[in-house]
A and B are shown apart, each in its own frame.
Chain A
Amino acid sequence: MSVVLITIVTLAGLGAIAAVILYLAAKKFQVFEDPRIDKVEEALPATNCGGCGFPGCRAFAEALVKADDISSMNCPVGGADTMSSVAAILGKEAGSAKPQIAVLRCNGSCEHRPKLTNYQGASSCAVAAALYGGETGCSYGCYGCGDCVVSCQFDAMYMDEATGLPVIIEDNCVACGACVEACPKDLIELRNKGPKSRRIFVSCMNKDKGAVAKKACAVACIGCGKCHKVCPYEAITMNNNLAYIDYEKCKLCRKCVEVCPTNSIHELNFPPRKPKVEQETPEQAQAE
């Protein structure tokens, strides 16, 4: 009987000593963690996409708790709702970042941009870009190997077999910017989603001179500057034979779309144009 007793007492004693050591160690090495970090993390979407500029939602939560002013910080996935609930937890002022979306600034589909060479290397845009300017005459355009599609965690992109270009699914895109990073040609830009998802952008990044660009691709921006002249809001700038529309200044009047001789300016989600379009078509043809 005494064996059992000795065992119980010894084990209980050992347990007590260990408990004291653990208690002291916990006191000594305690790291204080703001309980709000957990709360904020809970409010974030837990996608760990890095769209906020921090490595994962936890790191963003820590940064949000630490920052005095969070108005310039934004979770592109959760948007304004998430940020206002975070602001409520922290008692800080949320910023008013407009929802954004990725747009592809290349329209060089197989039909518009004839192939001159045949790439057989590793199926990666980054590898191809390290080798040469691509299969077509345009060395600024899409390689079509789909590095952006691979990078997308939200199933918001797929390669269109017919055009050879990636397509962005608007409903799924959260503007995390992974594809922007992945594209070696910087063809994807995050732009304001716009009212009713309406937006206008130059779907081309070709910086070659007009004649060279036009020869390589039928829908290239040739840097003619017509859009720059017609824009009443000074939203369009010309640089290196390429037009760029500032989405903060653009009021979506669509004048630039009408004058573009190569149709390189795209308008998305606008209602179909009224008969006016039909009158303009011959003029456009003449201008070309």
Chain B
Amino acid sequence: MQQKIGGQNVLKTFSLGGIHPSENKRSADRPVEILPVPPVVTIPIAQHIGAPATPIVQKGDAVKVGQVIAQSSGFVSANIHSPVSGKVEKIDDVVDASGYRRTAILIKTEGDEWEASIDRSPDIKKEITASAEEILQRISAAGIVGLGGATFPAHVKLSPPPGKTCDILIINGVECEPYLTSDHRLMLEKGEEMLIGVQLLMRALKVEKAIVGIENNKPDAIHHISQLCQAIPGVSVQPLKVQYPQGGEKQLIDACIGRQIPSGKLPIEVGAVVQNVGTAFAVYEAVQKNKPLIERIVTVTGLSVKKPGNYLARIGTPMADLIEAAGGLPEDTGKVIGGGPMMGKALTSIDIPLTKGSSGILIMPREIASRKPVENCIRCSKCVSVCPMGLSPYLLMTLAEKAIWDRAEEEKIMDCIECGSCSFTCPSSRPLLDYIRLGKGKVGQIMRSRTK
């Protein structure tokens, strides 16, 4: 499992760039707690990448847990199910994690009545009877999206485009974001179910081999999953060196199997598909238990949080409820971030609802939350050496600032995975990623208008 370089055992990792921020995994040893169902849930209809779902319920409708309330409106879209039973209070525009007012379905909870087809027994159903098509169909119907945070509809990734073949499935148990521990706890507590999900994904993709990539800062998870894997042919664990952003698809494929994805292409180009451990678990529940994606594990943490922990919460729960469960909002709070510290996004209010892509809530104390004053670029090229995609962030920032879009495209601005390593490492605290993200938006727009 380990490469030998110069007589020493060196753990595998990706080949280019990367950083190692302080891990601060404060909630790693906190078992997952089940959060009570909130009195009102708010379900945004745009919780995934792609077209927002179309609401199919109306004000006053009674809904059960697991009932479809918004239907997928295209191939790249996902169904949304009611996470509670009760009455639809209204369909209104509310501020969500995007920072904008967008359509959401508000449901007032009454009782806890589930759809009869959902198997709620605690038994683990190991036997796999579904065919590849049935598995795909179940995943699509259950509204499963990539739970690592990108929320790309899972069924799309599992349907390789014609002419492309997949020979390996890579399961992302890296959790390279500092602070976050939800995937770690999931592997420890639901490892067996997760691995059944992996087998289901392998069958859906028609591949014989799967690798679970786990970073070396989770030795208990590596041990636990390795032991469980022994009984499953084709599935193995790959321990990895701790390096951010190893959880990025392209980095993980490079780290696990040493294949590099050409610029502008998807992982399927090198015959690999990556899914998160959380997604694998959701697939298990959807296929074996007929349970759609209505809840997820969330880490609530931060340096001054009283009770950092991992919670199993229904989608649509206000972030405030989760923060309350973790001991309330500390007085010195400067910023509340949805997601991890590297790729997460500051929330404008704590009433924002939990969505499928919320992997964590990070509360930053005031003194470390604010940005430092921007200084001039000193040409130290640290951003270039840490960029995992081999780009020149300092240059891309200038190009975006000066609106030189053609050059930005030549410099492969679209390859940026927005990991934020450049901004993290910059000694002049320059807003590198801010401008690169702006440039990506503009260049993407120009490229799309060209193909039309």
Give the residue of A116, A117, A127, A133 whose beta carbon is less than 8 angstroms from that of B435.
A127
B62 to chain A, nearest CB (A): 26
Q: Which residues of A contact B (CB under 8 A)?
A: 116-117, 120-122, 124, 126-127, 130-133, 139, 208, 212
**Chain B contacts for A130, CB-based, 8 A:** 437-438, 441
A131 to B98, CA, bound (A): 7
Contact of A122 among B99, B348, B349, B435 (CB under 8 A): B435
> Is the CB–CB distance between B434 and A132 below 8 Å?
no
A122→B101 contact, CB < 8 A: no
Provide the residues of chain B in CB contact with A127, threshold 8 Å.
Answer: 431, 434-435, 437-438
> Within 8 Å CB of A131, what residues of B?
99, 345, 434
Asked whether A116 lies within 8 Å of B371 as measured between CB atoms, the reply is: no
Say yes or no for B208: interface residue by CB 8 A criterion. Answer: no
Q: Can you report 5 residue pairs joining A to B where beta carbons are below 8 Å apart?
A: A120-B370, A121-B371, A122-B374, A130-B441, A139-B99
Specify which chain B residues have a CB less than 8 angstroms from the CB of A120 in the assembled complex. 370-371
**Complex alpha-carbon distance, A184 and B438, angstroms:** 11
Measured CB to CB, the nearest residue on chain A to B370 is: A120
Q: B91-118: contact bitstring with A at CB < 8 Å (1 yes, 0 no)?
A: 0010100111100000000000000000
> Whose C-beta in chain B lies nearest to the C-beta of A126?
B438
B396, chain A: closest CB distance, angstroms:
13
Cβ of B349 and Cβ of A208 under 8 Å apart?
no
Q: Does B101 contact A139, Cβ atoms closer than 8 Å?
A: yes
Give 12 new A-B contacts, CB below 8 A, not counting A120-B370, A121-B434, A132-B348: A116-B349, A121-B431, A122-B434, A122-B435, A124-B401, A124-B435, A130-B437, A132-B98, A133-B100, A139-B99, A139-B100, A212-B93
Q: Which of B394-438 contact A (CB under 8 A)?
A: 401, 431, 434-435, 437-438
Assembled-state Cα–Cα distance A121/B437 (Å): 12
Residues of A within 8 A of B374 (CB): 122
Is B100 a contact of A132 with CB atoms below 8 Å? yes
How many whole Å from A259's CB to the nearest CB in chain B?
27
Q: Is the interface of A mostly helix, strand, loop or mixed?
A: loop
CB-CB under 8 A from A133, the residues of chain B are: 95, 99-101, 348
Pick the residue among A117, A124, A212 that contacts B348 (CB under 8 A): A117
Neighbour of A124 across the interface among B98, B99, B438, CB < 8 A: B438
B348 touches A208 (CB 8 A): no
Rounded to whole Å, the gap between the CB of B350 and the closest CB of chain A is: 12
Which of chain A's residues have a CB closer than 8 A to the CB of B101?
Answer: 133, 139, 208, 212
Inter-subunit contact B434/A116 (CB<8 Å): no
- Contact yes or no, A132 B99, CB < 8 A: yes
Q: Which residues of A contact B435 (CB under 8 A)?
A: 122, 124, 127
Q: Which residue of A lies closest to B94 (CB)?
A: A212
Give the distance in Å from the alpha carbon of A131 to the alpha carbon of B97 in the complex.
10
What's the Cα separation between A208 and B441 when bound, in Å? 25
Top 4 A-B pairs, shortest CB-CB distance: A132-B99, A122-B431, A122-B434, A120-B371
- Report Cα–Cα, A120/B345, bound state, in Å: 13
Contact status of A208 and B434, CB under 8 A, knowing A131-B99, A133-B101, A139-B100: no
B431: chain A residues within 8 A (beta carbon) = 121-122, 127
Task: Report A213 CB to chain B, min CB distance, Å.
Answer: 11
Within 8 A of A (CB), among B360-390: 370-371, 374
Chain B residues with Cβ below 8 Å from A122 are 374, 431, 434-435
Please give, as numbers and ranges, the residues of chain B lying within 8 Å of A116 by CB-CB distance.
Answer: 348-349
Question: Within the assembled complex, what's the spacing in Å between the Cα atoms of A29 and B99?
Answer: 59
Q: Which residue of A lies closest to B440 (CB)?
A: A130
A208 proximity list for chain B (CB < 8 A):
93, 101
What is the bound-complex CA distance between A116 and B437, given in angstroms?
Answer: 24
Distance (Å) between the CB of B86 and the closest chain A CB?
24
Whole-angstrom CA separation of A116 from B347 in the bound complex: 11
Which A residues are in CB contact (< 8 Å) with B434? 121-122, 124, 127, 131
> Roughly how many angstroms separate A130 CA and B445 CA in the complex, as a whole number?
13
In the complex, chain A residues whose CB is within 8 Å of the CB of B441: 130
- How many Å from the CB of A197 to the closest CB on chain B? 32
Q: Name which of B100, B371, B374, B401 has the most chain A CB atoms within 10 A of its CB.
A: B100
Q: Min CB distance, A209 to chain B, in Å?
A: 8
Tell me, in angstroms, the Cα distance from A120 to B348 when the chains sit together: 13
On chain B, the residues within 8 Å of A126 by CB distance are 438
- Of the candidates B95, B345, B348, the one having the most CB atoms from chain A within 10 angstroms of its own CB is B348
Residue of A nearest to B99 (CB): A132
Q: How far is the CA of A132 from the CA of B98 in the complex (A)?
A: 6
Task: Quote the shortest CB–CB distance from B150 to chain A (angstroms).
Answer: 17
Q: How far is the CA of A139 from the CA of B348 in the complex (A)?
A: 12
Q: Please, which residue of chain B has its CB at the minimum distance from the CB of A134? A: B99
CA distance A122 to B435 in the complex (A): 7
Q: Give chain A residues whose Cβ lies under 8 Å from the Cβ of B401.
A: 124
Least CB distance, A212 to chain B, in whole angstroms: 8
What residue in chain B is nearest A136 (Cβ atoms)?
B348
Give Cα A124–Cα B101 distance, bound, in whole angstroms: 21
A120, B370: Cα distance in complex, Å:
7
**Smallest CB–CB gap between B432 and chain A, Å?**
9
Q: Which residue on B lies nearest to A131, using beta carbons? A: B99
A138 closest partner in B (C-beta): B101
> What A residues does B345 contact at CB under 8 A?
131
Name the CB-closest residue of B to A117.
B348
In angstroms, Cα B431 to Cα A95, docked, is 47
B434 → A minimal CB distance (Å) = 4
Question: When chains A and B are docked, how far (Å) is the Cα of A70 from the Cα of B95?
Answer: 48
A1 to B95 alpha-carbon distance, docked (Å): 95
In the complex, what's the smallest C-beta–C-beta distance from B59 to chain A, in angstroms? Answer: 15
Residue among A121, A122, A130 with the most chain B CB within 10 A?
A122
Across-interface contacts of B438 in A (CB, < 8 A):
124, 126-127, 130
User: Considering the chains assembled together, what is the distance between the CA atoms of A31 and B382 in angstroms?
Assistant: 51
CA distance A208 to B93 in the complex (A): 9
- The residue of chain B having its C-beta at the shortest distance from the C-beta of A119 within the complex is B346
